[in-house]
Amino acid sequence: MFRTAVRSMATSARSSLTIGLIPADGIGREVIPAAKEAILAVQSELPPVKFIDLLAGWDTFTRTGTALPSETVQILKDECDCALFGSVSSPSRKVAGYSSPIVALRKELDLYANIRPVVSVSADTTAPPAVDLIVVRENTECLYVKEETLTQTERGKEARATRLITERASTRIGKIAFELAKARPRKLLHIIHKSNVLSVTDGLFRESVRAVPAASDGQFDQVDIQEQLVDSAVYRLFREPEIFDVMVAPNLYGDIISDAAAALVGSLGVIPSINAGDDFVMGEPVHGSAPDIAGKGIANPIASIRSAALMLRHLGYTSPADKIDEAVNETLAPAQVLTADLGGKSSTSQVTAHVMGLLQKKYA
């Protein structure tokens, strides 16, 4: 079960639930509707739900000149309790005026924690999952501040990028990671870094995270703290994934590690995430826009559906989130209704319909 909520937001005072939907580009437009269906399927356990369709992405940029319209940000801040983001098709070359809207949204809404659970599903429901870990990724700093320069020198072109690591950001992502580790049976936290080479930036991240328990009045004394260099962490993920429980990392490392970990459970198409701040949460499947399959109706909707469940759980709606996850597990375990990325032949709509059918039975 994907019980990864941190600081669940109180639900008792919420008379309604307004959710921003940002499909963005590529298969995001195919999988976000599946997440919406999942939320509608459990709405009897939620306050009245309202969805607002919002624009962002490369396609929006090509049509309007902006990848993240100010109206989208303002509606999220003023009218929405949470949001679901699909995927974005950022070009690999520099395009004047373009900047990734998901990176910008994380900063605009101060969604500083990207929480990515990676859990395997087995046909044997009595056995513990072979892979059961959470990557906690700092979401606002590192190389993703996107401060790059290109200059011409006597030796040719020279490109530089600024890497930002602050004590504040490292401490607050560290606290999220400790809270998650404390709530799990193993209570184990790995700090991922490369401070043997980057002694200043990664050194500050490492020291700031390690300092969290001392400032928490014994709250995290029961958490076992271990460290792993990022390169050996990736190696050990593939060799012995069972050694990891909660992994906390700077932005770039967390991005790479969570994508690599997806290979352990079959596909990026099953890995969900939430971008969480103190006042807002946005679900986001970990996969990209997959332009090679976009529009073909074969994208895996599971990551998007699981992201909706994670978002609901973070908001405090544990029971409906559990039901969504159970329906997904009951879809994956028999390995009969799967999309191509998992070796199956089912379409996006067929997988979605199967999950919704199971949810209907749970509410019958």
Q: Give tens-digit pLDDT for 156-165.
A: 999 999 999 9
Mean pLDDT of 162-172: 97
Whether residues 134 and 224 share a domain: the answer is yes
Q: Which of 271, 303, 318 is the last residue of a domain?
A: 271
CATH number of the domain at 225, please.
Answer: 3.40.718.10
By residue range, what is the domain housing residue 334?
1-111+277-364
Q: pLDDT confidence of 241, banded at 50, 70, 90?
A: very high
172 plus 252 within the same structural domain: yes
Domain shared by 197 and 53, yes or no? no
Query: How far is 64 from 17, CA to CA, in rounded Å?
Result: 30
Q: Does one domain contain both 204 and 221? A: yes
pTM over 0.85, yes/no: yes
Question: Is residue 313 predicted with pLDDT exceeding 60?
Answer: yes
Residues 152 and 233 in one domain: yes
* Number of domains the chain contains: 2
Last residue of a domain, one of 231, 246, 271: 271
Tell me the pLDDT of the chain averaged across its residues. 94
Same domain, 176 and 230: yes
In this predicted structure, what is the pLDDT of residue 49?
98
When pLDDT is cut at 50, 70 and 90, the band that residue 20 belongs to is very high
For the range 349-352, what are the long-range contacts, defined as Cβ-Cβ under 8 Å and sequence gap of 24 or more? 349/297, 351/34, 351/300, 351/301, 351/302, 352/33, 352/34, 352/37, 352/301, 352/305
Cα three-residue angle 69-112-279, rounded to 5 degrees: 75
Looking at the fold, whether 261 and 320 belong to one and the same domain comes out as no
State whether 256 and 193 are in the same domain. yes
Which residues contact residue 334 at a Cβ distance below 8 angstroms, ignoring those fewer than 6 apart? 123
Do 40 and 13 share a domain, yes or no? yes
158 and 200 co-located in one domain: yes
What whole-number distance in Å separates Cα of residue 344 and Cα of residue 21? Answer: 28
**pLDDT digits 0-9 by tens, 178-216:** 999 999 999 999 999 999 999 999 999 999 999 999 999
Closest CA to 170 of 133, 134, 195, 147: 195
Per-residue buried b or exposed e for 204-234, using 16+ beta carbons within 10 Å of the residue's own CB: bbbbbbeebbeeeeeebeebebeebbbeebb
What is the reported pLDDT for 10?
A: 53
Q: What is the pLDDT of residue 352?
A: 98
